[in-house]
């Protein structure tokens, strides 16, 4: 499976790159302030390289990814917050740029399915376990039943067919 992914990725990215392969995060992009640079890396790991196959701009070698990396570093240096940069990019490229989709009506099921399934599954399992653990109860006879059984057995032994 992976060869295909690698193949697709290389085809898509290299077509865009033509014959001048660049690199993910090049030395000239790195910010001098380590705190800002760490924020930049964190942000870019959550942003999609839109011309690539499911790659973040942090990983991607495409020129577009480099442009975005430079852009968000510019905004960081200018003092923008992470949220401001994200919403700026969403305004430009749409939700597609976010690798973590926003929580809204159209992604409700995406985010809630795991929780719903876990809840429903837990209820089912609980109900099932209760039924199962209740099942052995008939194994214990009530005193009345015991007496009846003793009676029956007495008859059996006394009156063999």
Q: List contacts with other proteins (CB under 8 A).
A: 1-12, 14, 19, 21-27, 30, 45-46, 48, 53-56, 59, 94-101, 106-107, 109-111, 113-114, 117-118, 121-122, 125, 128-130, 132-133, 135-136
Take residue 37 and report the two structure tokens written for it: 């640079």
Q: How far is the CB of 49 from other proteins (least distance, A)?
A: 10
Q: How far is the CB of 127 from other proteins (least distance, A)?
A: 11
Q: Based on CB atoms, which residue is closest to other proteins, 118 or 149?
A: 118
Q: Based on CB atoms, which residue is closest to other proteins, 6 or 149?
A: 6
Q: How far is the CB of 159 from other proteins (least distance, A)?
A: 27
Q: Based on CB atoms, which residue is closest to other proteins, 95 or 151?
A: 95
Q: How far is the CB of 17 from other proteins (least distance, A)?
A: 8
Q: Rounded to whole angstroms, how far apart are CA atoms 51 and 39?
A: 23
């Amino acid at each position: 499976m992976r060869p295909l992914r690698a193949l697709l990725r290389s085809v898509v990215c290299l077509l865009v790159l033509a014959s001048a392969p660049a690199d993910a995060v090049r030395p000239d992009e790195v910010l001098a302030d380590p705190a800002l640079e760490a924020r930049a890396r964190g942000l870019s790991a959550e942003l999609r390289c839109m011309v690539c196959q499911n790659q973040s701009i942090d990983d991607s070698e495409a020129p577009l990814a480099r442009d975005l990396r430079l852009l968000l570093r510019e905004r960081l240096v200018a003092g923008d917050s992470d949220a401001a940069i994200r919403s700026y990019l969403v305004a430009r490229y749409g939700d597609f740029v976010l690798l973590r989709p926003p929580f809204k009506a159209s992604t409700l099921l995406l985010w809630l399915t795991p929780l719903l399934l876990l809840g429903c599954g837990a209820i089912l399992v609980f109900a099932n376990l209760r039924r199962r653990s209740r099942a052995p109860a008939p194994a214990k006879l009530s005193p009345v039943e015991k007496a009846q059984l003793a009676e029956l057995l007495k008859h059996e032994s006394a009156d063999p067919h």
